[in-house]
Amino acid sequence: MQMVNATGERTITDLSIDELRAIDTNEKRTVTTHGIIHNVRDMGDFAFVIIRKIGGLVQCVYTMQDTEEERRILSEENSVRVTGELRAEERAVNGFEIAVENIELLSEPKEELPLSVSKRKLNIALENEIEIRPVTLRNEQRRNVFKLQEGIVRGFRRYLEDNGFTEIFSPKIIAAGAEGGANIFKLDYFGKKAFLAQSPQTYKQTLIPVYERVFEIAPVFRAEKHDTARHLNEYVSVDFEMGFINSFYDVINMETGMIKYCFDYLRENYALVLKKLNCELPVFDTIPCVKFRDAKEMVAKKYSRKIKDPYDLEPEEERLIGELFKEDYNSDFVFVTHYPVKKRPFYAMDDPEDPKYTLSFDLLFRGMEITTGGQRIHDYDEQVKKMIFKGLYPEDFESYLMLHKYGVPPHGGLGMGLERLVMKLLDEKNIRSTSMFPRDTTRLNP
Ligand code: AMO
């Protein structure tokens, strides 16, 4: 038996982009780094070999020797370790390049790629692109979409941590759905009926008396039967829930603070990603709030439309509300508040001033709903009554109702669709563009 001890010390000594950037190029230092060959531009006597690694691309300059071995090594998607002198080069992305003295081949693909990933734009239809996502994600633009997604999640997480929220991980295989409707996946759980969680709703509320403030960023599942440009069957939900609120406006203010913080965080830490994606983050101090009923009437009046569905916003209405608030209030965001009881789930608190409506809201961003939230019922009897009113059986919610039975402070929270936020930030027309491996009615692969 051979034993080794893990020391926790650095064993990979190849330099990172940040470490390379920190070196004074006047020192003429010989450096070693690694990466995947992204692109080779043959200039005759020499070639630009661009390698892809953590943090972006690095330009290497290779003097051609015209050998068979060289042709094998200088091939796209080979994994290589490069050693050479680091020198200043203003025209290279990072302001430096490596004059290659040695290039070691670590791994090579078996087959040529179905398309070249080094082009700025992949000219391929979205459906085909998704089909070969393991390949197309290697493209810089595609890879940056999900770096932006990462940055947003990091920004949100930091803000929530700073505000005392505990991060939770709730089960995704559950006994009863929280969001109502038919869009719930059923499954057989060792002979018992079970579902895939549409949201962490009941669990985040359950944890209010435990931690007071909680958040979760995780996949949720919706059995949407129709293919639309804004629905996925699995998406990443950014959820938070907070206790001791005075009204749902406390939740709205927390979300406004979270988005502002996140955008500042992105400007500071993801500047290159934003630039490469051509992404302009909106700058704002406040977000207007308008009641559901008023928003509907404003749109009907301004755009001479008939109100067809008094209980919900049609996607076209959302778009027009976005347009109206951009034109009249110069805002990319708008909170629409006080949605009808009919369209809100059993946990939503009714508005005591007008019980046909709830103390809830949606956040629209550039004309699309990205968040739903509100104040929840905290009184046991009121919650049971509302369940019955909604045609539900309180017996099915025994463990959730322990929350109300054993006491919970006034509380509220929200859920935001991460892919929708990224979609609107990048002005993408289809949500599948902003889901790494999207799940829709026809797709289980890749
Ligand atoms: P809701 O069901 O409105 O509320 O969902 C919250 C947000 O999730 C996003 N979203 C979706 N994104 C992609 N594909 C889908 N099929 C999809 N469905 C919803 C939207 C939406 O605004 N429990 C409540 C939230 C709360 O009150 O805390 C809930 O899940 O951006």
Calculate how far, in angstroms, residue 179's C-alpha sits from the geometric centre of ligand 1.
Answer: 9
pLDDT of 121 reads 86
Poorest-pLDDT segment among 71-85, 108-122, 427-441: 108-122
Q: What is the mean pLDDT of residues 238-257?
A: 98
- When pLDDT is cut at 50, 70 and 90, the band that residue 323 belongs to is very high
Q: Kindly tell me if the per-residue pLDDT of 340 is higher than 90.
A: yes
CATH class of 134-434: alpha beta
CB 273, CB 151: distance < 8 Å: yes
Q: Considering the domain 2-107 in this protein, what is its CATH number?
A: 2.40.50.140
The token duo for 275 is 């630039």
Q: Is 64 left (phi over 0), alpha (psi -120 to 50) or beta?
A: beta
- When pLDDT is cut at 50, 70 and 90, the band that residue 136 belongs to is very high
The DSSP 8-state label assigned to residue 16 in this structure reads: P
CB 139, CB 122: distance < 8 Å: yes
The token duo for 250 is 């406390």
pTM: 0.96
Angstrom distance (rounded) from CA 160 to CA 187: 33
pLDDT of 120 reads 87
The DSSP 8-state label assigned to residue 314 in this structure reads: -
- When pLDDT is cut at 50, 70 and 90, the band that residue 44 belongs to is very high
Please give the share of the chain, as a percent, with pLDDT higher than 90: 96
Pocket residues: Cβ below 6 A from ligand 1: 179, 199, 201, 222, 224, 231-232, 235, 237, 239, 369-374, 413-417, 419-420
Q: What is the mean pLDDT of residues 50-63?
A: 96
Calculate how far, in angstroms, residue 258's C-alpha sits from the geometric centre of ligand 1.
Answer: 18
| Extents of the domains making up the chain | 2-107, 134-434
CB 399, CB 343: distance < 8 Å: no
The token duo for 157 is 């997480």
Q: Kindly tell me if the per-residue pLDDT of 139 is higher than 90.
A: yes
Q: Kindly tell me if the per-residue pLDDT of 386 is higher than 90.
A: yes
Q: What is the mean pLDDT of residues 24-46?
A: 96
Mean per-residue pLDDT of the chain: 96
Q: Is 73 helix (H, G, I), strand (E, B) or coil?
A: helix
Calculate how far, in angstroms, residue 71's C-alpha sits from the geometric centre of ligand 1.
Answer: 51
Where is pLDDT greater, at 26 or 180? 26
Atom of ligand 1 nearest to the CA of 199: 30
How many helices, marked H, and strands, marked E, lie in the chain? Answer: 14, 16
pLDDT of 257 reads 98
